[in-house]
Structure 1
Amino acid sequence: MKIEAIKAALPTKKLTNDDILALIEEYSKPTFTGDLKAALSKINFFLRYSGSDTRHWLDKDERPIDLVARAFQEAITEANCDKNDIDLLVYTGIGRGFIEPAAAYHIAASLGLQQAECFDILDACMSWTRTLNIVHSLLQTGRYKRALIVNAECNMRFGGPVFPTVFQLPNVEAIEWSFPAYTLGEAATATILSCDPDREWEFHFKSRPDLADLCNVPLDGYEGYCTPSQRIGLNGINKFTSFGVELHANAFPEFINIFKCLKAPIEEIRAIFPHASSKREWDKVAEALNLKHLLWHIYPTYGNLVSASVPTGIASAIAAGQIKRGDRIAGWVGSAGMSFCAYSFIY
């Protein structure tokens, strides 16, 4: 499978850590019990400790579909193909406007893709990576010639699953299950893929469903679809709840074990693209395997882009001249679920 083009589009509103702290202070003042200044100081420390600096959110006149269209147009231009050449479109990621039908249908209609079969894949921050693996298998069957993967991880809209609810802290304890919300950025990506038997891909996945209650956005009535846990829904129904410290603590050994599954020679890898959940935590894992020098981080600049993290990282590395055609690269992802993946391929 060949990546013919991979592009990312970012919104224009840029926020610093200080902007995030100001928003938390504004929305927490009416509800907070205790020392708010001490809580803000704690969040500030965590942000800077993780390596966070800036992130981008949609401005008032911007829409997720506009970012998708921009990324798609740049991708199709680079791939030198026509819209009608795309016969499969997969929408992937958490940011979405529809539960029914699959978001891919509305994306296809907006982009003018009349020949493409459509469906969605949703697997939290693993979504784009999981889709790569599935599309790789589908292209090998010969059923499709060219596939498009798109996402629009724009989850910070007012009244959405994160903002402002998770910025309305009731007490300092709530930071434990709310902090990851303050690292989120927004982006859309478009990836065009075609079958190429000369480019081998290697994927390794592992799931840890026993950790499923560490990061959730529960729907109304979720209790009937799971074994209930006191961790789920602490910020409310349809709202984001995430225990970031525990996620990374449990992920550390899994990250090491899954990367060791790769058969690709380490000395051939030009760059490794981690999920943008924390620069410091990923550096710790990479240091354990003597791989820190290979990590390409976008977290400090763009924040956690959810399922758009790795494709945005790859697109930015290409633009910066960090990788070129013929280079071997690797992806390294951990996600709510929990799930873990390491994969490698020739760009």
Structure 2
Amino acid sequence: MSLVLRLSKESYVGTHIKLEQMTRQFLEKAGAKHRRWRTGNTKPIEHISEAWKNCLAKLDPDQAAKIGTLIYCGIDKGVAEPSHASLLAQKFGLDRVRCLDLSDACMGWFTATQVASQFATAKAPYCAIVSAEFPMEIPGRVYPECFTIRDEQDFLWKGAALTMGEAASVTIIDSLADESPQVVYTSSSKLADICCVPLLRADRFVDSPRLSPKLADNCFVSYMPSMALESYRQAQGILIKYIAEYDRPDVVLPHLVSQTGPRRASHHHLKDGTLKNCFEHFGNLATCSIPVGYEYFDCNKNSHVVGWVSAAGMSHGIFRLW
């Protein structure tokens, strides 16, 4: 709140009382309480390396030797080439593994689990899926521009950035273990231009009357009214379909985009206590949402555990983990 008021002091065209009320109302409606950001001058690679060490420590040497693929699926990116996966494989001492980056917005982690089987072999069936979401660079694509509000319409495009958290995750999966995946997925490109993180000269690739004017700010934008409504409808629809096809899950881990949104969308469809949402503790972690939630709630492998994600693009998926 204080960052918004301070950075918007010169730009906001209304009263600061109105800006404070609007910001507070949005954060309360989303259920935002805490966001975890880096302190000091730490770099994302340091946190990725720590996540890798923690994950590797849970494997025995024979299992580690079966890692044949490394996929980087984070929205946050540092280079255009080589792939982040190649640089991470070098860092981790993985010499002869298949490396690739995957870009699918907040759906990236789930898509990586699907893609991994295409590169798995009997001798090397394991895939390391790495995600890093560290948007709070100073300056960066979130700070300070997303905290610099001009008017109410500007807030509708920038407000989602106020819930961002930071995290790194490493997940190692057996890509050949699940022969009959339980998945419900849907997508539509009609609203592909309502959420964007621009890179260098994004206008070279974007031709959208709705999005193009927003690129001048060179920051993350997401038109919240449309994102919220579309995500609610589609996420609820795939949840209902999943339950009809595969029965009610014991644990549902939602994309950490809101504390209240998943609760409303799942109301009357899930038993009490099924939805495990840690957004209020971490903020929006994008592609790290499902692995962070899985570890935070210490999900039982014997349970029926699913991930539930809506992503820019727009795409929506619910998929069984265990």
The residue type paired with residue 265 of structure 1 is D
Q: Does 1:107 align with 2:107?
A: no
Partner of 1:329: 305
Change in 2 beyond 3 A, CA 1:171/1:237: closer
Q: Does 1:284 align with 2:264?
A: yes
CA–CA distance in structure 1, aligned partners of residues 178 and 197 of structure 2? 40
Measured after TM superposition, the shift of residue 213 of structure 1 is 1.1
Measured after TM superposition, the shift of residue 333 of structure 1 is 0.5
Q: TM-score, normalised by structure 1?
A: 0.86
Measured after TM superposition, the shift of residue 199 of structure 1 is 7.1
RMSD of aligned Cα (Å)? 2.0
Once the two structures are superposed, residues 112-150 of structure 1 have per-residue CA deviations (whole angstroms, 9 ceiling, x without a partner) of 2212221000111111111111114543x6474211000
Partner of 1:129: 110
Q: 1:120-199 residue pairs with structure 2 within 5 A?
A: 120-139=101-120, 142=122, 144-195=124-175, 197=177
Measured after TM superposition, the shift of residue 230 of structure 1 is 2.4
Measured after TM superposition, the shift of residue 218 of structure 1 is 2.9
CA–CA distance in structure 1, aligned partners of residues 240 and 119 of structure 2? 26
Measured after TM superposition, the shift of residue 233 of structure 1 is 5.0
Q: TM-score, normalised by structure 2?
A: 0.92
Partner of 1:31: 11
Q: 1:48-67 residue pairs with structure 2 within 5 A?
A: 48-67=28-47
Measured after TM superposition, the shift of residue 56 of structure 1 is 0.7
CA–CA distance in structure 2, aligned partners of residues 109 and 25 of structure 1? 43
Measured after TM superposition, the shift of residue 257 of structure 1 is 2.0
Structure 1 ranges of 4+ moved more than 6 A: none
Q: Does 1:312 align with 2:292?
A: yes
Unmatched 5+ residue regions in structure 1? 1-20
SS in 1 for 2:256: coil
Contact 1:31 1:168 (C-alpha < 8 Å) held by counterparts: yes
Measured after TM superposition, the shift of residue 245 of structure 1 is 2.4
SS in 1 for 2:61: coil
Contact 1:52 1:300 (C-alpha < 8 Å) held by counterparts: yes
Partner of 2:189: 209
Change in 2 beyond 3 A, CA 1:283/1:41: same
1:265 to 247, 250, 255: 247
SS in 2 for 1:278: coil
CA–CA distance in structure 1, aligned partners of residues 52 and 105 of structure 2? 22
Change in 2 beyond 3 A, CA 1:283/1:198: closer
Contact 2:256 2:283 (C-alpha < 8 Å) held by counterparts: yes
Contact 1:220 1:237 (C-alpha < 8 Å) held by counterparts: no
Partner of 1:47: 27
SS in 2 for 1:311: helix
The residue type paired with residue 321 of structure 2 is F
The residue type paired with residue 309 of structure 2 is V
The residue type paired with residue 334 of structure 1 is S
Partner of 2:227: 247
Contact 1:94 1:153 (C-alpha < 8 Å) held by counterparts: yes
| Higher mean C-alpha deviation, range 201-210 or range 130-139 | 130-139
The alignment covers a number of residue pairs equal to 319
SS in 1 for 2:127: strand
